[in-house]
């Protein structure tokens, strides 16, 4: 039972540093909840960034099985982040106003890790560098991400390496330029289905559009359906909204061709 001179649980996790990192600025009871909620969210985002970077590297080296596992883990992290807000929702608006003035102009919108996730996934909106301009060290890290291919870029290059015609996206070199939807990429994705023996006609015939998820890495980011019962309607609605927001981000901002095709396949599945 003695850990004198030996590594303990607390030593390994540096618990003193972690547990001393909460410094409320008011006497409001709920401020500690607010701080811990956001600090834990940042820790989950740190893990998501680690996994996205590793998945990009794996795809770059044609190591798809590890990449699928990493991306599936990221989807679970996103679900964890969404579910965690249920705890914060126990704080009422009036309770929040008891300490909100102490926060000044700070906002979750200023999270540079959230920005890193967006940039790594492919949302190259340079205006979002603005809130971090006062921190050259952070700006440099984000600029480093912008200079390299993002997740979807690497997935498209994977198609090109395997002989699929994706047009100009196969010849991109300036990753800071925000890409536009490309019908040739859509054709390449359809060809990918055919090569895998999952033709669109076959999918229409047997209603197995879900197989498409296993054929292209970014689809592993899709949140899974949680079959657990949530008896309160508002709890179900909150989780549904979280999934919709993630899907909308992936569809509109990051993977437009992929989601256009997938939407068609899901439409087949629901008939």
- Distance, CA of 178 to CA of 83 (rounded, Å): 31
Give yes or no for residue 266 having a pLDDT over 80. Answer: no
Q: Which domain does 159 fall in, by range?
A: 29-92+109-221+231-269
Q: In the prediction, which pLDDT does 195 show?
A: 59
Q: Which two tokens stand for residue 224?
A: 């899974």
Q: Tell me, yes or no, whether 214 lies in a domain.
A: yes
At 230, is the pLDDT very low, low, confident or very high (cuts 50, 70, 90)? very low
Q: Tell me, yes or no, whether 172 lies in a domain.
A: yes
Q: Tell me, yes or no, whether 244 lies in a domain.
A: yes
List for the chain the helix, strand, coil content (%; round to 5): 70, 0, 30
Q: What is the CATH number of the domain that holds 142?
A: 1.20.58.480
* Residue pLDDT, tens place only, 106-131: 888 889 999 999 899 888 888 889 98
Q: Which residue has the higher pLDDT, 1 or 212?
A: 1
Q: Over the chain, what is the mean pLDDT?
A: 79
* Residue pLDDT, tens place only, 172-183: 889 988 788 888
Which alpha helices (H) appear in the chain, and where do they start and end? 9-13, 15-19, 31-60, 64-88, 93-97, 112-121, 136-146, 151-161, 183-195, 200-206, 233-248, 256-269
* CB-facing half-sphere around the CA of 91: CA atoms within 13 A: 19
Closest among 222, 205, 226, 211 to 271, alpha carbons compared:
205
Q: Tell me, yes or no, whether 204 lies in a domain.
A: yes
Q: In the prediction, which pLDDT does 149 show?
A: 94
Q: Tell me, yes or no, whether 202 lies in a domain.
A: yes
Q: Tell me, yes or no, whether 5 lies in a domain.
A: no
**Structural domains in the chain (count):** 1
Q: Tell me, yes or no, whether 181 lies in a domain.
A: yes
- Average pLDDT of the segment spanning 134-148: 95
Q: Tell me, yes or no, whether 11 lies in a domain.
A: no
Closest among 201, 227, 225 to 213, alpha carbons compared:
225
């Amino acid at each position: 039972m003695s850990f004198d001179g030996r590594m303990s649980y607390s030593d390994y996790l540096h618990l003193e540093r972690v547990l001393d990192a909460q410094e409320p600025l008011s006497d409001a009871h709920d401020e500690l909840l607010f701080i811990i909620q956001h600090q834990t969210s940042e820790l989950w985002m740190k893990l998501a960034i680690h996994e996205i970077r590793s998945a990009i590297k794996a795809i770059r080296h044609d190591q798809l099985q590890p990449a699928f596992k990493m991306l599936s883990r990221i989807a679970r992290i996103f679900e964890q982040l969404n579910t965690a807000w249920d705890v914060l929702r126990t704080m009422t608006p009036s309770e929040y106003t008891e300490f909100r003035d102490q926060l000044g102009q700070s906002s979750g919108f200023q999270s540079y890790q959230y920005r890193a996730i967006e940039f790594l996934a492919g949302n190259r909106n340079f205006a979002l560098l603005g809130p971090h301009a006062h921190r050259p060290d952070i700006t440099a890290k984000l600029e480093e991400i912008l200079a390299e291919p993002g997740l979807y870029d690497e997935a498209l290059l994977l198609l090109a390496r395997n002989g699929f015609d994706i047009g100009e996206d196969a010849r991109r070199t300036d990753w800071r330029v925000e890409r536009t939807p490309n019908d040739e990429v859509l054709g390449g994705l359809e060809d990918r289905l055919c090569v895998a023996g999952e033709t669109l006609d076959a999918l229409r015939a047997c209603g197995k559009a879900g197989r498409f998820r296993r054929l292209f890495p970014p689809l592993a980011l899709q949140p899974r359906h949680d079959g657990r019962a949530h008896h309160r309607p508002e709890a179900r609605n909150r989780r549904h909204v979280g999934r919709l927001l993630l899907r909308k981000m992936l569809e509109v901002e990051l993977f437009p061709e992929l989601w256009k095709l997938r939407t068609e396949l899901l439409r087949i599945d629901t008939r």
